[in-house]
Amino acid sequence: MTSQNEEAEELMRKVERAEERKGNATGQCLHLCIVNLVIGTLYCAKNNYEFGLSRIAHALDGGSGARLCADTWIHVKRCVLGLLTGLAKQTIVLPSIALQETLNFLRACEAYGITIPSVLTGPLEDSGEQPPTIGLEARKLRALLLRLMEYK
């Protein structure tokens, strides 16, 4: 198992070097971000939210990077909602430092994503109203987490 972890880390370093070589000339390069999101999501699915959410925060540069968009936010939201469900059912116990890091991450997502739509809309969808933003959804998730932390 250890050798597989080392192989995975080497593969991630290769992807990171390739992204650095390519640079920002062509816009967003989300390859390493997606790798980290997948790893974080898998750890969250196995109820290791402490490490999973740290990988997700790392993937999105702490929530304040250009990688925060509707495509990546859906994975963040899914993992945070899983954490909130587990905390509400009292099936998950997380150290207070991990909860604080999650709050800080959601706060950064709220600040940076205040104008970024949280859902993708096509050109044929003209509902007339503004789609919800990542900032608004992050604020709601943070409020739910704070409410659950009060009941501990």
**Average pLDDT per run of 10 along the chain, which is 152 residues long?**
66 71 62 85 92 91 79 93 95 93 95 90 69 94 94 60
Distance CA 124, CA 41 (A): 32
34-43: b or e for each residue (b if 16 or more CB lie within 10 Å)?
ebbbebbbeb
pLDDT tens-place string over residues 20-47:
666 655 556 677 788 889 889 999 999 9
Q: Nearest CA to 106 among 69, 74, 148, 140?
A: 140
User: What are the structural domain ranges in the chain?
Assistant: 1-150
Cβ–Cβ under 8 Å, residues 72 and 52: no
Distance CA 36, CA 38 (A): 5
Cβ–Cβ under 8 Å, residues 49 and 82: yes
Supply the pTM of this predicted model: 0.82
The crossing angle, in degrees rounded to 10, of helices 31-45 and 49-59 is 170
What's the number of CA atoms in the CB half-sphere (13 Å) around residue 151?
10
- The whole-number pLDDT of residue 23 equals 65
What region does 23 belong to: left with phi over 0, alpha with psi -120 to 50, or beta? left
